[in-house]
Copies of this chain bind each other. A is one copy, B any other.
Amino acid sequence: MTIRYPNGKPFIATPTSSKQVKNSFSNRGQSLEDDLNETNAFYLAHQQAVVHKKPVPIQIVNVEYPHRSAAVIREAYFRTPSTTDYNGVWQGHYIDFEAKETKNKTSFPLQNIHEHQMSHMAAVQNQGGCAFFIIRFTNLARDYFVPYSAIAPWWAGMKKGERKSIPLSFFETQICISNKYAPRIDYLQALRTFVNRTESEENNI
């Protein structure tokens, strides 16, 4: 049974269908969320970073206490999150990101991103944190690392009535995350590449 937000959208990354699995070379049928959970567990075990997925916020209304058993929540509602799904620390840096999947092959629809995620990431960047997206093109078997600052102009454009999706050609200018056995999605390597690029650009000014 799919669990949904009040607005009807699933709150868990959609599992890949059997058809997608056949077409995918990288994710072996796992959702991006599963891959990231494994990756974060790997980073934690190897003392490379401390990153966790935030639980889904729930408004609890009624709880039962059956005799000698665990408490059972009998009435609760999904609340709208006010942050992104993942955050943590890597070598002293605060990192904060959102993971998105699309089945599209030619562009990424901006409707996958929510207003609260953009405003949270803007605040994080303003405080000197690293805010970014991990975007999976499921049917292309590619995962991209895209800094918040690169998504922001497309988001602003959409709000002014410009295009509602970001073309694949844009992602091809971004960092493609290599898929490995362990860690599954080495986004820290992509982050390191991004940080080094940014620093060398700053030195060239």
Q: Which residues of A come within 8 Å of B, CB atoms?
A: 1, 3-6, 44, 47, 49-50, 52, 54-58, 60, 62-63, 65, 70-78, 82-83, 87-94, 96, 120, 123-124, 126-129
Nearest chain B CB to A127 CB, angstrom units: 4
One complex includes copies of this chain to the number of 2
Which B residues are CB-close (under 8 A) to A75? Answer: 72-74
CB–CB B129/A92 < 8 A: yes
CB–CB A89/B52 < 8 A: no
Q: Report the separation of the CA atoms of residues A71 and B90 in the bound assembly, to the nearest whole angstrom.
A: 37
CB–CB B60/A57 < 8 A: no
Q: Report the separation of the CA atoms of residues A74 and B49 in the bound assembly, to the nearest whole angstrom.
A: 36
Q: Report the separation of the CA atoms of residues A75 and B63 in the bound assembly, to the nearest whole angstrom.
A: 9
CB–CB B92/A127 < 8 A: yes
Q: Report the separation of the CA atoms of residues A184 and B126 in the bound assembly, to the nearest whole angstrom.
A: 23
Nearest chain B CB to A39 CB, angstrom units: 16
